[in-house]
Amino acid sequence: MNYDDLVSKWKEYYEQMPGSKMFPELFKPITIRKVKIPNRIKYAATEDNFNKDGFVTEKDVAYIRERARGLVGGICTIQGVYMDPKGEGQGYVGQAAAWDDKFIPGLKKLADAIHEEGAIANIQLMHCGRVGGVKLPYCVGPSAVPQRLRVLKPVKEMTKEEIKTCIKQHGEAARRGIEAGYDIVEISGIVGYLISNFLSSYTNRRTDEYGGDIENRCRFMVEVIEEVRDAVGKDVPIFIRLCAEELLDEMGGNTPEESMVTYKMAEKAGVDCISVTQGWQESLHSVITRDIPQGHWLYNAKRARQHVKVPLSMAYRLFKPEMANKAIADGIIDIWELCRPLIADPYLPKKTLEGKLEDIRYCIACNLCLARLFRDAPITCAVNPLVGHEWEDRWKIKPAEKKKKVMVIGGGPAGLQCALVAAQKGHEVHLYEERNILGGQVVYASKGPYGEDELYGIIEWLKRQCEKAGVIFHMNTTVTPEIIEKEKPDTVVVATGVKFVVPKVPGSNLPHVVLGPDVLEGRGESGERVVVWGGRGDGIIAALYLATKGKKVTIITKDRKPGVDVNPSYIWRYMLKISQAGGRVYRFADIESIEEKRVIIKAAYGVRIPVPCDTVVVSLREPRNELVEAAKKLCSEVHVIGDALQPRRLHNAIHDGYRVGLRI
């Protein structure tokens, strides 16, 4: 690739775009060794589980192409490849491989797609260490330290011979990457993968030259870097992702000072850029969830800047272009990395360059992508239904053959998404909402106390896009069969969501029995001792909200555990916070009766337990689908979507809306 020509091409394009003046630091070139990169934006690799038996698939190529297209000249990193034929380094069933030359053609398809879209191609080498061995009964690491997470495999300690073999495999995989056409080779040393296992005092208990003090624990990393350098030559940049703060204090992990030693040792070994990361999968601390404010982790990049001179990049709760532009201007980082934000909106950099910030569909940090990944399923995205379908023509929005009048009843996420797609196809779309605010269940969810207000961002985005597409809004309007009959739509979409219901038990009509939404929106007060009746997501948010106000909360759920429908990245944090506030949970339980100062619950094995309470907050939902039969009598095409079909989660609602919108 002629990097001078690439930079010149993009420079001319940037100068025409308003975003280059709004965010000058983001659209400034940077040269690393012989590679000239047009801007300071990098797609940070994420596994997608789209590949088969280590071979790259067309689905993966389409996914990567879409991210490369949106980078407008930046760095596009493909998912980390595993490098050993046994699969000890394989952490994900759909992970690409690079342990044999037979994988080069597939890897080349990805590099070619990136280059065809005018971006810089980066291949990541990733041995997953104690997170690996996905198809084996074990994983490998420097020491056989027991796993804290039960989903991970037992660890087998690597012999010196195995360590030397693994180092060579890194070099061989790097060579294959260069043969496949990549411009940069990146080494993954984060979150509990193999290099981080050697670096950390938590997982490295060796007494030979690969263990002991921090300098010796760096030996494996240093030898990997040197092996990769020998394989790729002096002109190819080598990046590495390293933990600046492990957040493993409870397990005896590295101190932040020791982590900085790893940075200096990596620089000395010859890396050209370090990606600043924090936390492990086994850490007890939150890292990328919404309770961490955006920009919070920049302090680690500031600290790294004091120890190394090579360029630094950073992702991790750094979603907004204005925040990244300032961080570069302030000399904190040199390159803005994005992972989840480019899953949610692959065109985020392009929209930033064009000055169309209102069109950016921001990641809501729900971590659905990661939840899928860790369960060996292909990733998807709550707010971007096209993830994993980029190559499928049937998922693309095309002009409708016949224009229809479409009535969408309900302004929650399902209704808004359906209305948007239908309008983009050219239909005349009318959206009816009985309240004066859009969002449905997201309105309540966004009242949570730990950054849940970010959730409402997708509603604001859908509203703006609907307005641009010509959707006509009818707010404060309750749709009746008479209105349907009067408007004579060709298509009716029932997206009326749910209703909160109070089961009929003795005392259920007492005044201190209130609905969860009323509490969250400030329409109802609660006493000091609160029983939350229902342990699904809406009940968990209500319990969190009340716990932060000093209430003593008891959750009653019929399920085997609270929050069975809540993302695993969040539920353990939520329940920890509720427990720390003095809350408790009764599982496999239900309320049998309600009295003035207590409830009687029927728990497991029929045991009846009195629970003191001043307020009962009901978070039990049923579909609101009363209009369905009437609509079917008045209209030949009726669809039921979102919670009106079945109460579920945000991603189900948005995906329902998108798919039905395509069918209209």
In 539-583 the beta strands, taken as DSSP E runs, fall at 552-556
Q: Are residues 273 and 160 in the same domain?
A: yes
Q: Are residues 609 and 641 in the same domain?
A: no
pLDDT at 524: 78
pLDDT at 280: 96
Q: Are residues 469 and 496 in the same domain?
A: yes
Question: Which residues partner with 238 through β-bridges?
Answer: 185
Q: Tell me, what DSSP letter sits at residue 146?
A: P
Q: Are residues 223 and 336 in the same domain?
A: yes
Indicate whether 337 belongs to any domain: yes
CA-closest candidate to residue 391, choices 122, 654, 109, 180: 109
Whether 497 and 628 have beta carbons less than 8 Å apart is answered as no
Indicate whether 381 belongs to any domain: no
Task: Give the integer Cα–Cα distance in Å for 173 and 129.
Answer: 16
Domain of residue 173, CATH code:
3.20.20.70
Q: Are residues 468 and 443 in the same domain?
A: yes
Cβ neighbours of residue 469 under 8 Å, at least 6 residues apart? 420, 423, 424, 429
CB atoms within 10 A of CB 380: 20
Question: Which residues partner with 32 through β-bridges?
Answer: 35
Indicate whether 392 belongs to any domain: no
Q: Are residues 48 and 114 in the same domain?
A: yes
Cα→Cα distances 194→44, 140, 146, 486, 538, Å: 19, 8, 15, 66, 38
Q: Which residue has the tokens 């080069």?
A: 104
Q: Are residues 471 and 580 in the same domain?
A: no
pLDDT at 522: 85
Task: Pull the structure tokens for residue 538.
Answer: 């809406």
Cα→Cα distances 340→44, 45, 578, Å: 9, 10, 28
Question: Which residues partner with 75 through β-bridges?
Answer: 42, 120
pLDDT at 525: 81
Cβ neighbours of residue 306 under 8 Å, at least 6 residues apart? none
Whether 450 and 577 have beta carbons less than 8 Å apart is answered as yes
Task: Give the integer Cα–Cα distance in Å for 381 and 63.
Answer: 13
3-state DSSP percent of the chain in helix, strand and coil, to 5: 40, 20, 45
User: Which residue in 14, 193, 450, 545 is the catalytic one?
Assistant: 193
Indicate whether 391 belongs to any domain: no
pLDDT at 45: 84
Q: Are residues 48 and 126 in the same domain?
A: yes
Q: Are residues 324 and 243 in the same domain?
A: yes
Indicate whether 301 belongs to any domain: yes
Task: Give the integer Cα–Cα distance in Å for 209 and 467.
Answer: 64
Task: Give the integer Cα–Cα distance in Å for 341 and 44.
Answer: 10
Cα→Cα distances 68→47, 59, 120, 474, 580, Å: 16, 14, 8, 39, 44
Task: Give the integer Cα–Cα distance in Å for 230 and 244.
Answer: 26
Task: Give the integer Cα–Cα distance in Å for 31 and 22.
Answer: 22
At 376, the amino acid letter reads: D
Whether 274 and 42 have beta carbons less than 8 Å apart is answered as no
Q: Which residue has the tokens 């980082």?
A: 333
pLDDT at 65: 97
Task: Pull the structure tokens for residue 186.
Answer: 């990146």
Whether 548 and 449 have beta carbons less than 8 Å apart is answered as yes
Task: Give the integer Cα–Cα distance in Å for 22 and 355.
Answer: 8
pLDDT at 149: 87
CA-closest candidate to residue 190, choices 136, 247, 139, 241: 241
Q: Are residues 555 and 639 in the same domain?
A: no
CA-closest candidate to residue 126, choices 189, 43, 78: 189
Indicate whether 258 belongs to any domain: yes
**How many domains in the chain?**
3
- Active-site residue 193, yes or no? yes
Task: Give the integer Cα–Cα distance in Å for 555 and 536.
Answer: 10
Q: Are residues 159 and 258 in the same domain?
A: yes
Contacts within 8 Å (CB) and 24+ apart, 370-374: 370/569, 371/567, 371/568, 371/569, 372/49, 373/46, 373/47, 373/48, 373/49, 373/92, 374/151, 374/568
Indicate whether 506 belongs to any domain: no
**φ/ψ of residue 409, rounded to 5:** -105, 105
Which string of DSSP letters, residue by residue, matches 287-329?
A: SSSTTSPTTTTHHHHHHHHTT--S-EEE-SS---HHHHHHHHH
Q: Which residue has the tokens 């089961």?
A: 503
Domain of residue 597, CATH code:
3.50.50.60
Task: Give the integer Cα–Cα distance in Å for 174 and 313.
Answer: 21
Segments of the chain scoring below 50 in pLDDT: none
Cβ neighbours of residue 212 under 8 Å, at least 6 residues apart? 206
pLDDT digits (tens, 9 = 90+) for 288-346: 999 999 999 999 999 999 999 999 999 999 999 999 999 999 999 999 999 999 999 99
The sign of the dihedral angle between the CA atoms of 487, 489, 495, 500 is positive
Task: Give the integer Cα–Cα distance in Å for 19 and 77.
Answer: 23
Whether 332 and 302 have beta carbons less than 8 Å apart is answered as yes
Q: Are residues 151 and 252 in the same domain?
A: yes
pLDDT at 523: 85
Domain of residue 420, CATH code:
3.40.50.720
Indicate whether 11 belongs to any domain: yes
Task: Pull the structure tokens for residue 349.
Answer: 């950099």
pLDDT digits (tens, 9 = 90+) for 51-90: 999 999 999 999 999 999 999 999 999 999 999 999 999 9
Task: Give the integer Cα–Cα distance in Å for 56 and 63.
Answer: 11
Whether 300 and 278 have beta carbons less than 8 Å apart is answered as yes
Task: Give the integer Cα–Cα distance in Å for 156 and 143.
Answer: 7
Domain span at residue 446? Answer: 397-500+623-663
Question: Model-level pTM greater than 0.75?
Answer: yes
